[in-house]
Structure 1
Amino acid sequence: MIKKGILGGSFDPVHAGHIGMALTALQELELDEVILQPNRIPYYKKQAEVSDADRLEMLRIAVAETGRKELLASDFELREKEYLSTSEVLLRLRKNEPETALVFIMGMDSWLYFHKWRNYKTVLETANIAVFNRPGHVLKQEDLPEELAELHGRHLITDHSVINRSGGLYFIESRPFDISSTTLRNLLREGGSGAEEYMSAGVLKYIMEHGLYGNRL
């Protein structure tokens, strides 16, 4: 059975935290590949500061610089004319790959609001979920909203063996990475000094050469 991770996001811009999550999931869950795909951002949310084409190209550069063929950048969502919810994305992927074990990758902040997502139960019916815990954070089931506590109790898998196409809930300890895309954009607007600590050289070069985030050579 092929085991495939899916990591979505705005990637505005992609940084070392995103790539670190993909590589850690690949190793910890023994996945065959991890697909990183930029979201099409819905009209009612704050739009990305750069074009879809730029977000995708930066992601392709970052993935290529890892040298890992198991990481792939995809325009799957960007090819759609309209925004797709996570459940809709996964249902389309499942239709294309009925026998693949899908693992949707998210951070702890997303998990804590997961029960507010549209058709959130469909996500676990269609794929497994891997949640990256904050370093040192202890997740107590009794502190979770009732909906998440119920999912936690029914779907939690304590080892990291992906044995089913869907329905498993995994928690992975993430490595400390103290940067967000918002903070990184502000750093780039201020001239970019220090940005090389948080993103690949190729992505930073692309940003500078194309004058993204108010930054120019």
Structure 2
Amino acid sequence: MKIGLFGGSFNPIHVGHISLARQLLTLGGLDEVWLMVSPQNPLKQGRNDLLDDKLRFEMTKKALEGEKGIKACDYELRLPKPSYTWTTLEHLKQDFPNDTFVLLIGGDNWELFPRWYRSEDIVKKHQIIVYPRRGSDIDLTTLPPSVKIVDTELMDISSTEIRNRIKTGDSIDNLVPNSIIEDVKKNYRL
């Protein structure tokens, strides 16, 4: 199988993540997209608003119930910390030798990609699909052959916005799947 890895903290997962995963499944010619719930991002140290790993995974799993070809994945949560994409990809290759893994990242992460641990090795050994993010400008003439740009819809929803809305008592309806609205409110309330 050809599996797209869509990593993130999903703190919390929202309808933008799910819409994007659906688009990437189709545009990337993928058999599945795994929403890889990640521990603390090594490039975003110092965050104190990150909900417990298990809770974020459980909410992601619940939010994806009934989605075809899109699954919540806790694989990275079981690996040694810090969490490096290169390490995750190497472990996946060992555990799933018959599958091909494609890294799915936003344009903002592609701009930071040279700072990623073993980024050159990732580009040499794995296919990468980059989707647009507002404010990111990618020079198509500099892309390696293993990197493909897809044109997905830009969604102006963020997990930060959802957490802020909960703190101020504003509605999060239509921002997170109905199946997890109460879980999100309960877990992110101060």
Q: Normalization by structure 2: what TM-score?
A: 0.89
1:200 paired to 2:177: yes
SS at the partner of 1:112? helix
Return the alpha-carbon distance in structure 2 between the equivalents of residues 81 and 136 of structure 1: 33
Structure 1 residues 36 and 6, CA gap change in structure 2 (3 angstroms): same
What is the aligned counterpart of 1:176 among 151, 154, 169?
154
Deviation at 1:188, TM superposition (A): 1.4
Q: How many residues align?
A: 188
Question: Structure 1: which 5+ residue stretches go unaligned?
Answer: 143-148, 156-167
Return the alpha-carbon distance in structure 1 between the equivalents of residues 41 and 150 of structure 2: 29
Q: Is the 8 A contact 1:10 1:48 kept in 2?
A: no
Instruction: Select the structure of larger CA radius of gyration.
Output: 1
What is the aligned counterpart of 1:190 among 168, 177, 185?
168
1:94 paired to 2:93: yes
Question: Structure 2: which 5+ residue stretches go unaligned?
Answer: none
AA paired with 1:36? L
Q: Is the 8 A contact 2:12 2:56 kept in 1?
A: yes
- The match for 1:60 is 61
Question: What is the identity percentage for the equivalent residue pairs of Structure 1 and Structure 2?
Answer: 29
Q: Normalization by structure 1: what TM-score?
A: 0.79
SS at the partner of 1:5? strand
- The match for 1:113 is 112
RMSD: 2.1
Deviation at 1:102, TM superposition (A): 1.2
Structure 1 residues 82 and 32, CA gap change in structure 2 (3 angstroms): same
